[in-house]
Amino acid sequence: MSGADDPELAVGADAFTRDGAGLEVAVVGAGAVGATAAYDLAREGADVTLYDRGTVASGATGRAAGICYDAFADGLDAELASDAIERFRALSGDDTFPFVECPYVWLAREGDDEGADAIRTQVARMQDNDVVAFEMDAATLADRFPALRTDDIAVAGIAGAAGYADPSAYAACLAAAATGAGATLETETPVEIRTDPARVVRPDGETSEVDAVLVAAGAHTKELLANAGISLAMKPYRVQALVASGELAEPMCYDATGDFYLRPHADGLLAGDGTENREADPDAYDREADDGFADDLSERVAHRIPAVADGDATLEQAWAGLCTATPDRDPLVGECADGLYVATGFQGHGFMRAPAIGERIAAELLGGSGIDAFDPTRFDGDEAFEIGSGMAIDPD
């Protein structure tokens, strides 16, 4: 698909402050964020080359869960998530990629007073930020979602603006739309980054000097910038997920007490947890799930979805991927050196924010103000911090 003149792939005209004609940009990383930014830049007339060391969506995007929701207590996070969902809806279709509307539920079990209090606080703050979210008790939840076991639930929150998509299909769609709008796609091309001036170096040593470089290379972003002499306050960490057969129409669910999530999937259901609270090597991490991971998680999923335990659910696949963490759990999005931009550190929320983040970082490259709260220069790059799960309930 070209997408160049497709109104379904249109971006709000007021997102950009100037035409991109004459601007040369290298985007490094053809995952969801990089492909979106490349598309938005190309649409505005920029001369864009989209690089990836592998193929489109071959990194973190291809191993992401595809869950999307706007259930954030922070106003900025909620705004970005809401804008992303609206754009998922606009971009999706029979000729692009599917986006399936599905309610998102997060819950705390009886005895988890801290988790229950946090959910109540979250829901109230979401409502203050005009997010459509409601608190539910166990009985109401059981009536609304009979697939869920609810007899051990203390409280739940539910957000209506939510759904799921295939991350690989999304990235492929946006990369194709970017090339249709005039961008050049160079896969299997592991470039290096140089600064002052901004430029990329191909494997054969050929150097391309550009007006700006955007690095959206997921877990490899830190290493790429380090080789350019820039320290980044980001740590990659390993997560695990599985797909099992069974029947689940709705909802998507995060069991905060049990520390796992699940959603419907074409082959049954997709579930995940397994956050490793230590930094991973993006070139050497184990891409296979740990021994015992699938059995343990399947047992917890069966506790929450009784039909899985009662049926003939079987494991279809299990895998590991990488997410990226920062000291304050907010991403690093914006200019980190003259002509060098970055988008990373999404705590597992990169795909669900990609339509909004890609649009905003493209707008910043075209003269916009960027996202001040996500300014990557707010850290020195050598901060010590611990890695935490991206889906942890945090009312603050």
Residues 215 and 348 in one domain: yes
Domain with residue 243: its CATH number is 3.30.9.10
Residues 213 and 277 in one domain: no
254: containing domain: 235-325
Residues 34 and 174 in one domain: yes
Q: What local confidence, expressed as pLDDT, does residue 168 receive?
A: 98
Asked whether residue 158 is domain-assigned, the answer is no
Give the chain as a 3 state SS string.
CCCCCCHHHCCCHHHCCCCCCCCEEEEECCCHHHHHHHHHHHHCCCEEEEECCCCCCCCCHHHCCCEEECCCCCHHHHHHHHHHHHHHHHHCCCCCCCEEECCEEEEEECCCHHHHHHHHHHHHHHHHCCCCEEEECHHHHHHHCCCCCCCCEEEEEEECCEEEECHHHHHHHHHHHHHHCCCEEECCCCCEEECCCCEEECCCCCEEECCEEEECCHHHHHHHHHCCCCCCCCEEEEEEEEEECCCCCCCEEEECCCCEEEEEECCEEEEEECCCCCCCCCCCCCCCCCCCHHHHHHHHHHHHCHHHHHCCCCEEEEEEEEEEECCCCCCEEEEEECCEEEEECCCCCHHHHHHHHHHHHHHHHCCCCCCHHHCHHHCCCCCCCCCCCCCCCCCC
Q: What local confidence, expressed as pLDDT, does residue 394 receive?
A: 63
Asked whether residue 267 is domain-assigned, the answer is yes
Q: What local confidence, expressed as pLDDT, does residue 393 receive?
A: 64
Asked whether residue 53 is domain-assigned, the answer is yes
Residues 262 and 291 in one domain: yes
Residues 303 and 338 in one domain: no
Asked whether residue 384 is domain-assigned, the answer is no
Look up the pTM and report it. 0.93
Asked whether residue 130 is domain-assigned, the answer is no
Residues 56 and 173 in one domain: yes
Residues 180 and 312 in one domain: no
Residues 240 and 314 in one domain: yes
pLDDT along the chain (396 residues), means of 10: 42 53 94 98 97 97 96 95 97 96 97 97 94 96 95 96 97 98 98 94 94 97 96 96 91 95 94 89 96 93 84 83 96 97 96 98 95 97 88 60
Residues 275 and 331 in one domain: no
Residues 224 and 333 in one domain: yes
Q: What local confidence, expressed as pLDDT, does residue 307 receive?
A: 83
Domain with residue 205: its CATH number is 3.50.50.60
Asked whether residue 229 is domain-assigned, the answer is yes
Asked whether residue 346 is domain-assigned, the answer is yes
Asked whether residue 98 is domain-assigned, the answer is no
Residues 217 and 241 in one domain: no
Count of structural domains within the chain = 2
Residues 249 and 305 in one domain: yes
